[in-house]
Structure formats: structure tokens, C-alpha cells
Amino acid sequence: MTFTLATWNINSVRLREALVCRLMRDEAPDVLCLQECKSPVEKIPMEQFRALGYEHVVARGQKGYNGVAIFSKMPIEEVRAGDYAGLGHARHIAGRLANGVTVHNFYVPAGGDVPDRAVNEKFGQKLDFLTHMRDDFAANRPARAILVGDLNIAPREDDVWNHKALLKIVSHTPIEVEHLAQVMAAGDWVDVTRQDIPEGRLYSWWSYRSPDWDTADKGRRLDHVWATPDIAPAARGSRILRAVRGWEQPSDHAPVFATFDL
């Protein structure tokens, strides 16, 4: 059985309802994971998505900030919603699909501007969130699982437009990359996007602050698709839909896709 999954930081699911519908209609992933819904769950426009075949959803939300949701064409049951680092934020939801695959959808804290936890509390919270993720997966080793989301870290040199220029910029600092590597090791996760596309620069986010994002191309790969080793070999066809970043009134993130032949 084949299924396709996508992850997209939507930056307000209510403002961009039409864009979500367009992606659902044009690309029709079996599972669509959103982050930064910025909406209470009861105000997500479920009916419009349901009409496009996404009849099943698990979600966590809060007013104005954060929020994660998994829309699925096949049945999904919630298995957990973690409160990593005890922030009380809606940044994680996990569901088990009818095909037996567990999907973790994460929105890791961005971490503020200064990469020093002594002067920037948000950076400490980001590191603590990642440490908590690591401990969680070490204590409960995932199987037949996929982890997606806006992890707010671009780990590789070719995941950013300029490695040296970004070494002290939050999202690409060595300490963040090390924390992310420990999360990966704890769950034995495989980076599916880079398994499929091992070479070359790859970005999923371009700042709103760049007037001509496409030409300047100062991007970062902040959005990820991982899988456990029992199903990672079944992954193929990963792609980042850069064109979506150029849609009318876009999110600053592009959706990331992967297909699994299970």
C-alpha cells in the first residue's frame, strides 16, 4: 500500500484556508500535517477540508499562536499530545493511521534572536524542548513511525544559503544542530528528505523580510520528514514544493512531501 504525506507550516490555517484547499486538491497527499495553525481547534475550517476527502483529523490548538493538525483521508486516532519543555504550547500531536503507521507532528520553538540561553529565555526553551524530545524517544523507541514538522533547525551546510554566515544565527548554530542530532539518534530516525535527495542545496523556508525571496534565495531547510528504519527504506519521491512559496499571500514555508510504499 502506497501513501503520500506532506508537512507544511501554514502560518494561520484560517487566513490560508484557500491555499490549504488548493494543495489538497492539486497534490492530494493522503496525510497533510500543518503547523502554526494559530487557531483554536474548534475554529479550524474542518468542513472545507472534509469536503476534499480529509475526513479524519487530530489536532491541538490555541488562540493566536502555535497549533498543529494532521488531516487524513484514512482513519487516524490520536495517540498522544506532548507538552515538551512544559511550555503549555500546542506544538505536538501524534496519531496512528489505519495502516498502522504512527505520525508525529512537531512545531519546535523558533528560539528567539540571540543564540544564548543566559540572555534569551526562548533559546533555552528551544534546547529544552529538543532535549525532552530526545529523552522521550530514548525511553519509548518508536517503530513504524514518521516524524514531520517545522523543527526550526537547518542541520546541514547545504540546508542553508550560507553556512558560515549562519553559524551564529538561530536555526543553524552548532548547539542546535547537536541537539537535533541527539533527537535523531534517540529515535533512530532517518532523514527521509535527504535519503531521497542526498546532494545539493535544499530549502523549505524563505523569510518574508526578503523583498525578492525567489531571486535572493536566502533559504533554509527548517521543515523535515523523518522515518524509523523499519519503514524508511519504503520512502521515495521526496520533494519540496517551492512554487507554493510564490502563491498569492503565501506562508513563508513551502510544503515538504514524501511517498511510502508499504
User: Any known ligand binding at 162?
Assistant: no
11 to 70, contacts with DNA by CB under 7 A? 11-12, 14-15, 36, 38, 63-65
Closest to DNA by CB, 165 or 185: 165
Note whether 86 binds DNA by CB under 7 A.
Answer: no
Tell me the closest approach of the beta carbon of residue 241 to DNA, in angstroms.
18
Q: Is 150 noted as a catalytic residue in this protein?
A: yes
Tell me the closest approach of the beta carbon of residue 193 to DNA, in angstroms.
20
Q: Is 135 noted as a catalytic residue in this protein?
A: no
User: Any known ligand binding at 224?
Assistant: no
User: Any known ligand binding at 17?
Assistant: no
User: Any known ligand binding at 253?
Assistant: yes
Tell me the closest approach of the beta carbon of residue 170 to DNA, in angstroms.
9
If binding means CB under 7 A, how many residues of this protein chain bind DNA? 19
Note whether 110 binds DNA by CB under 7 A.
Answer: yes
Tell me the DSSP string of the chain: -EEEEEEEE-S-TTTTHHHHHHHHHHH--SEEEEE---S-GGGS-HHHHHTTT--EEEEE--SSS--EEEEESS-EEEEE---GGG-----EEEEEETTS-EEEEEE-----S-S-TTT-HHHHHHHHHHHHHHHHHHHS---SEEEEEE-S---SGGGBS-HHHHTTSTTS-HHHHHHHHHHHHHHT-EEHHHHHS-SS---SB--TTSTTHHHH---B--EEEEE-TTTGGGEEEEEE-GGGGGSSS--SB--EEEEEE-
Q: How far apart are CA 255 and CA 258, in angstroms?
A: 10
Q: Which of 209, 212, 215, 248 binds DNA (CB under 7 A)?
A: 209
Note whether 208 binds DNA by CB under 7 A.
Answer: yes
Note whether 104 binds DNA by CB under 7 A.
Answer: no
For 100, how many CA atoms within 13 A lie in the half-sphere containing its CB? 7
Considering only 132-140, 173-181, 201-209, 237-245, which stretch makes contact with DNA by CB under 7 A? 201-209
Which residues sit at the interface with DNA, rule CB under 7 A? 11-12, 14-15, 36, 38, 63-65, 109-112, 122, 207-209, 211, 249
Residues flagged as binding site = 9, 36, 150, 152, 252-253
Residues flagged as binding site for Mg(2+) = 9, 36, 150, 152, 252-253
Question: Could you list the active site residues?
Answer: 107, 150, 253
